[in-house]
Amino acid sequence: MSIDVLTIYLLNFVIAFAMAGLCFFSWLHSRDILGLRGWATSLLLGAMGSLELSLRTNSSPLYMVIMANSLIVAGYATVWMSVRRFNSGERGIKFAVIPTTLFVAVFSGALLAGIDVNKRVALCSLVIAILSTLAAWEVLRARITEPLSSRLPTALALLLMALSMIVRVVFSLLSDAPEGETTPFYDPTQGITLFINTICVVAMTLGFLLMANERLRHHYEKLASTDQLTHLPNRRFFLEEAERLAGRGALGMARACVLMIDLDHFTNVNRSFGHAGGDQALVAFADLARRQLRPDDLIARYGGEEFCALLRDVDELEALQVAERLRAAIAGLSIDVDGRALRITTSIGVATLRKTCRTRCVGPTPRSIGPRNGAATGSRARKSRRPPPLSARSGAAAF
């Protein structure tokens, strides 16, 4: 089985050029996605290299052969650079320039020294295999910090390309060098590995676009569920999480308590320190609350100066202790606002998620938890509904 190499070069040119246009179009609509423009550039470099290879003849000057192969190697080096840019944000142009420069020097020396065509093919294929493997490693390396599901197929496409190039290296070194003048489209594997390479270019580009789209989707999902000022989850996310946990609690699978936290007299804070000072107080409270609560607890901005905390696997007594600890920490917090000390206090109410409920829910999230799954046990706003001893038993009011 053999495939016409000239046809493969022309096919590579058309496909790489089309995929480069797709990547550039995606970048124009999502310029925040790092590495996407670099990936498009790498495809353009590969397209120009393939076109130049398809145009060469036996009488083509040496610089044309060097330039064509160098453009293709530069394309793969830019792929490696683009993945690094996508993962870390660094503008590491050296990761494209250094490998390309080294290849130009070595390949030019081999060509001028009269090295046979098989060894030149092996050299080009080996460099492409190394760069593809490095790019695949970069794709997989960031799975822990950013577990995108499309990383694995993208890395597999790059590794398959590297494997096909290793096979081409082996065939090149084991085959006898052709005698006499050879066609400019000579390939030891009769075009098969080049065809696999073409398929991998399409697969890895689609995989990278899926990675970019997945990152963008996660970004918008985070924006929709995060408060812009404090960077805490917002009310929507909190209610959805409370519903989910309440459903588990209704089956006896989990227990949890909710803290409803209100910063006292916040209108006076805005009046005395301005809205910028009020924002600074909200951010300071959010940072302190994150440190006071456990990593598995959920603290969210419920609205204005109101916050909610969802404490997993705690009973009422433990929740009261957490509330008191948080109240004391806030009371001891001093916020510097333009050289002036700002101190705030909080009122905290406690509600419990229970398997059953005998009374109407009056807690901070009556609609999300509902009378089926939750029972409120005190808050400053509801203080008059229960006798004073209740706060000592099951609620925390006006901390």
**Is 102 in the same domain as 180?**
yes
| Tens digit of each residue's pLDDT (9 = 90 or more) over 123-166 | 999 999 999 999 999 999 998 889 999 999 999 999 999 999 99
Pair 239, 258: CB distance under 8 Å: no
Domain count, the chain: 2
pLDDT tens for residues 102-114? 999 999 999 888 8
Our CA angle for 343, 294, 337, nearest 5°, is 20
Model pLDDT for residues 286-343, shown as the tens digit of each residue: 999 999 999 888 999 998 899 999 888 888 889 999 999 999 999 998 898 888 999 9
| Residues 217, 272 share a domain | no
Choosing from 172, 199, 222, the residue where a domain stops is: 222
141 and 270 fall within a common domain: no
Query: What's the confidence (pLDDT) of residue 359?
Result: 31
- Which residue range is the domain that position 341 belongs to? 235-394
Residues 250 and 144 in one domain: no
Residues 294 and 376 in one domain: yes
Residues 242 and 127 in one domain: no
| CATH number of the domain enclosing 199 | 1.20.1070
Over the range 105-126, which residues count as b (16 or more CB within 10 Å of their CB) and which as e?
eebbebbeeeeebbebbbbbbb
pLDDT of residue 213: 93
- Kindly list the distances between the CA atom of residue 60 and the CA atoms of 13, 34, 69, 94, in Å, as whole numbers in the listed order: 19, 39, 14, 31
On whether the CB atoms of residues 65 and 111 are closer than 8 A, the answer is: yes
Same domain, 23 and 156: yes
Low-confidence ranges of the chain (pLDDT < 70): 1-2, 177-183, 245-254, 354-399
